[in-house]
Amino acid sequence: MDKKTMFLTPTTHWDREWVMTKGQFQVRLVHLIDRLLRIMDDHPTYRFLLDGQAIVLEDYLAIKPEQRERIAALMASGRLVTGPWYVLADQFLENGESTIRNLLIGMDLIRQMRGRPMMLGYVPDSFGSIASLPMILNGFGIQYATFGRGRPSWDKELAEYEFWWEGPAGSKVLAANHGYSHGVFLSYPDIWSDISQPSSLEPDAQLTLGSFLDEAQKQLDKASTSNLYMSVGIDHMEPRPSLPGIVDYINQHQEDYEIRYAMPEDYLAAVAAAADGLSSYAGEMRGSGDLPMDLVGTLSSHMSLKQQNDASEMLLQRLIEPLWVMASIASGVAYPKGLIQNLWKLLLANHPHDSICGCSLDQVHKDMRNRFEEIEHTGAYLIKDGLHQLLTAINTASQEETAIAVVVVNPLGRLHTGPVKRYVRVPKRFKHDVYTLLDEKGQTIPARIRHVVDKNKDLESEYMTADMLAVLISKTSEDTRAANQVFTVLEIDFIAESVPAIGYRCYWIKPGTTNNEAVSVEALALAARPVVSLCESGMENDAIRVRFHEDGTFDLLYKRTGKEYRELNYLLDREETGDSYDHHEFAAYDERDSRACSAGTGTGWRLQEHVEDRIVFRAELTWELPKAIQDGKRSSAVASLPITMTATLYANVERLDLALEIDNTCKDHMLRVVFDTGLHTGTVSAYDHFQVVDRRVREGGGEWRDEPFQEFIDVSDGREGLCLSTKGLPAYEAVRGSGDRGTSVQLTLVRSAGSIGQAAGANYPAPGGQCQGPHRFEYALIPHEGDWRQGQCLGKASDFRAPLLAEASLQHDGNWPSQGSLMSIQSTADSDPFMSCLKQAEDGDGWIARLWNPGPSGYLQVDGELLAGELDVCSAFLDERLKEKADDAAAAGIAMQAGELVTIKVQERRNQG
């Protein structure tokens, strides 16, 4: 009888930072790899998987650069394997474009080390897996995946370890539900005992053989073929020189199995060759009602980290990269690839599943915040440089000789109308009491423009951003200094209308003659401008009417459908008896409702600002909540939780922007903001990594349980809907409300827990997880007709989440007109493709645009409005390998399937003569 094959992978699972800091773990990593190299010298057939993340190579070689050639030789021979990822990230807490860069950067680093990336989606310890992972893996030529958590079922429909995992647009991978560590006993008979005792250092071969046969039989019962898999590695486990001897002993002392050193990729290739009639599954891996996944509380631990991460992703993906594509093409200056790549690595270094999940030591999260802040500050500087380079190519001349230009830049892949409130730097003295803003037709635009400061031009200030100059204590200019030796900082505040996609629009500021007083509604109507106005107990624009209540809630009427959503935006609070990994409550939970706040505990909603194109209402409440949990219950002692809410309605923008600020003075609690939609639905739609996932609405009652999302959540009954978009708040729950409440969307704001939890192997104190102090949350409500597609929820959410950029300039000629779009990408189908990125190609030759198609199949047409020559346009894989000839793609357009993620490479055609 033929032997069954046991594919054996010696490995480790390397949490780069978690219950120790990055530096502490780096010391251990050096010891681990040094020991590994000695074992590999002694056993020429031995192979090792250095987890699935290339960043560990950088961490080791930063300490031992002299070992680079030795490591590279082992990788070239296939004995030392890693990748394909740069880091093993939590999939649900990095966005789709970050997932792609994680693969791009990881695979490139491995190839630089002469290695071959493991061509397998290795996610052994991720807290669930995204539904679109098969599509992303296929885009890199990867056909296999192994995962640990989130399996939806073990039943007759999905009874084996191995199955076809289907993704969007026809993608699929052969997946196996093997995490890691099930073969640890081959090196560490009892990993949780004294691992330095002789019986552990030199395991008893006969006893180990018995354990092996038991484990192999368990696997065989659930395997689709006679090919089995064991991983000999667990968190931070060092390889042991005893393993090769144990493997030899087992191979020699039984006839049923042959153990072979291999990678999980080898195992799945053997399964693919032998399996017949495998089951299939389509969707995300987040468990099910019958098989719930643990550790879901990580979606809301240390929420400020999630907010910083979202801001960093937006900065890199939707601002810096597309801006610099525009700037480098316009001015001819080099695209700053190295600087951007460095920021990407800092960002990805925060994405491992115990880092961004917020379930590590407090010091680890402090280190993460430092990385996020470095991205923020360096990124802001790159924005400044990119804007200044772009402006040199734009014709900013005007008939108003005394005016200076303000160029508003829209890096998004769609036409954008939205607020612009920024400091801008005027490269001359431009101090006036009153300013007027004009568009390209010479029409006056409602705006608030304020002189902030004049600063001397010199060696340092020449390189400062407008924000830096605005707060600078010294270098204030005297009025006698020559005008061209001064920088003037202005604060501009207005609505920029219809700024072209991947483009810009010029405005001009001239000295005014009258004060910028509020223009009456009648005057605005005569000028045919969109208006926003006060109404009974609230405010309204052409599409939305808001009526406020003293308890901090409001009603929202969508005029286009007549649907009114009532008592939105109240808060619920429950106790937190869990830890940073999981939320838990008492069996009889204690829920508090902010609507119990009386008018005497705050000011309620009051008008804060009313200008031509914007109205802002503000509410202040004080909520008395239990201070903490004491003696097994919520304390009778209370703390005052100050709450400030603002609601902003713009003219000609069909959404309501909301901000909520709290000073978290309480511990051991969880806080949510709630929207009872009045719509009766069985599911809600949540955007997540190039797919909109329909998740069931949970019945009311029971313990709170977070679900993930990005960009937006939408509740729709098919006729009308209410969409919620946020900035860095990735956790929600949809609950069936009683009576007229309909589907209730509960957005998690804060979860206060003071320990990491036993899932870390030991329960470490983490007082920072209580999240004490001030917090600010931003979100928006977007009412619409139909479902999320008809309501253009993804595009409108993107408008809310990505700001317009702006900078000032003197008047000058330029090769580009005063308004334009670098390139337009249009769909022939009834679709609104979502642009995930626009960046320089990895090979430096041309540009990469990536778009997700939420609608039906069709074609994408690319037009380079501002490019001098004709374009070569071709479809590419996610790793930027070309799919088809440029001439064919340019003529017919780029084909796109429904739900497909399309990558396009664009180059200006070179002369052949």
pLDDT along the chain (913 residues), means of 10: 93 97 98 98 96 97 98 98 98 98 98 98 96 98 97 94 97 96 94 90 95 97 97 96 97 97 98 96 93 94 98 98 97 97 98 97 98 98 98 96 97 95 97 96 96 96 96 93 96 97 97 58 51 94 96 96 97 98 96 79 87 96 96 95 97 97 98 98 97 95 95 97 98 93 97 96 96 98 97 96 97 96 85 93 96 92 80 94 66 86 88 49
* Residues 515 and 662 grouped into a single domain: no
* Residues 345 and 487 grouped into a single domain: no
Judged by DSSP in three states, 106 sits in helix
Neighbour count for residue 509 (Cβ, 10 Å): 25
The span from the CA of 347 to the CA of 507, in Å, is 35
Q: Does 817 fall in a domain?
A: no
The span from the CA of 414 to the CA of 323, in Å, is 14
The span from the CA of 9 to the CA of 581, in Å, is 29
Q: Hey, what's the torsion of the CAs at 146, 12, 365, 23, to 10 degrees?
A: -150
* Cβ burial 409-422 (10 Å sphere, 16+ → b, else e): bbbbbbbbbbbbeb
Residue 272: how many CA atoms within 13 Å on its side-chain side?
Answer: 14
The span from the CA of 696 to the CA of 455, in Å, is 57
Q: Does 816 fall in a domain?
A: no
Here the tokens at position 570 are 């109240």
Say how many Å lie between the first and final Cα of the chain, rounded: 68
- Kindly give the residue spans of alpha helices, DSSP state H, lying in 682-817: 793-801
Here the tokens at position 583 are 């939320």
Here the tokens at position 88 are 């093993």
Q: Which of 288, 281, 294 is nearest to 134 (CA)?
A: 281
**Please, which residues bridge with residue 720 across strands?**
785
Judged by DSSP in three states, 439 sits in coil
The span from the CA of 640 to the CA of 665, in Å, is 7
Here the tokens at position 618 are 């503000």
Judged by DSSP in three states, 57 sits in helix
> What is residue 520's predicted lDDT score, i.e. its pLDDT?
47
Place of tokens 């005008």: 483
> What is residue 515's predicted lDDT score, i.e. its pLDDT?
44
* Residues 615 and 748 grouped into a single domain: yes
* Residues 585 and 668 grouped into a single domain: yes
The span from the CA of 699 to the CA of 741, in Å, is 13
Q: Which of 604, 608, 622 is nearest to 663 (CA)?
A: 622
Neighbour count for residue 375 (Cβ, 10 Å): 24
The span from the CA of 358 to the CA of 857, in Å, is 40
* Residues 644 and 734 grouped into a single domain: yes
Sequence-ordered list of residues with C-beta below 8 angstroms from that of 729, at least 6 positions apart, any chain: 303, 306, 307, 747, 748, 749, 777, 779
* Residues 241 and 126 grouped into a single domain: yes
Q: Which residue type is seen at 764? A: Y
Neighbour count for residue 885 (Cβ, 10 Å): 12
Here the tokens at position 262 are 């291999």
Residue 53: how many CA atoms within 13 Å on its side-chain side?
Answer: 27
Do 365 and 354 meet the contact criterion of CB atoms below 8 Å apart?
Answer: no
Q: Does 287 fall in a domain?
A: yes
**DSSP assignment of 81-101:** E--SBSS-B-GGGS-HHHHHH
Do 98 and 351 meet the contact criterion of CB atoms below 8 Å apart?
Answer: yes
Query: How many angstroms separate the Cα of 820 from the Cα of each of 188, 386, 417, 503, 812?
Result: 65, 17, 15, 5, 16
Q: Does 339 fall in a domain?
A: yes
Q: Hey, what's the torsion of the CAs at 220, 223, 224, 227, to 10 degrees?
A: -70
The span from the CA of 144 to the CA of 174, in Å, is 5
Here the tokens at position 798 are 């993107």
* Residues 437 and 567 grouped into a single domain: no
Place of tokens 């699972």: 13
The span from the CA of 278 to the CA of 275, in Å, is 7
- Kindly give the residue spans of alpha helices, DSSP state H, lying in 295-334: 303-314, 321-331
Do 127 and 92 meet the contact criterion of CB atoms below 8 Å apart?
Answer: yes
Parent domain of 360: 296-393
Domain boundary among 237, 260, 293: 293
Q: Does 889 fall in a domain?
A: yes
Do 584 and 576 meet the contact criterion of CB atoms below 8 Å apart?
Answer: yes
Do 230 and 215 meet the contact criterion of CB atoms below 8 Å apart?
Answer: yes
Q: Which of 391, 200, 470 is nearest to 808 (CA)?
A: 391
Residue 873: how many CA atoms within 13 Å on its side-chain side?
Answer: 24
The span from the CA of 28 to the CA of 11, in Å, is 15
CATH number reported for the structural domain that contains residue 907 in this entry: 2.60.40
Overall domain count for the chain: 5
Sequence-ordered list of residues with C-beta below 8 angstroms from that of 858, at least 6 positions apart, any chain: 827, 828, 829, 831, 895, 896
Do 655 and 714 meet the contact criterion of CB atoms below 8 Å apart?
Answer: no
> What is residue 1's predicted lDDT score, i.e. its pLDDT?
63
Domain boundary among 358, 393, 428: 393
Q: Does 166 fall in a domain?
A: yes
> What is residue 862's predicted lDDT score, i.e. its pLDDT?
86
**DSSP assignment of 629-671:** EETTEE-S-EEEEEEEEEEEEETT--SEEEEEEEEE---SEEE
Neighbour count for residue 480 (Cβ, 10 Å): 5
Backbone angles phi, psi at 845, to 5 degrees: -115, 90
Q: Which residue type is seen at 53? A: Q
* Residues 389 and 426 grouped into a single domain: no
Q: Does 818 fall in a domain?
A: no
Neighbour count for residue 832 (Cβ, 10 Å): 18
Q: What is the pTM of this model?
A: 0.96
Q: Does 399 fall in a domain?
A: no
Q: Hey, what's the torsion of the CAs at 178, 180, 184, 186, to 10 degrees?
A: 50
Q: Classify residue 521 as left (phi > 0), alpha (psi -120 to 50) or beta.
A: alpha
Beta-sheet strand order (sheet of 447-456): 416-426, 486-499, 447-456
* Residues 654 and 719 grouped into a single domain: yes
> What is residue 891's predicted lDDT score, i.e. its pLDDT?
56
* Residues 289 and 307 grouped into a single domain: no
Sequence-ordered list of residues with C-beta below 8 angstroms from that of 238, at least 6 positions apart, any chain: 12, 31, 32, 35, 36
Q: Which of 210, 312, 132, 303 is nearest to 770 (CA)?
A: 303
Does the CA dihedral 875-877-878-879 come out positive or negative?
negative
Rg (CA), the chain: 29
* Residues 560 and 537 grouped into a single domain: yes
Do 59 and 26 meet the contact criterion of CB atoms below 8 Å apart?
Answer: yes
* Residues 241 and 111 grouped into a single domain: yes
Backbone angles phi, psi at 690, to 5 degrees: 60, 35
Domain boundary among 393, 413, 443: 393
Beta-sheet strand order (sheet of 692-696): 602-611, 614-626, 638-650, 656-664, 773-785, 720-726, 713-716, 683-687, 692-696
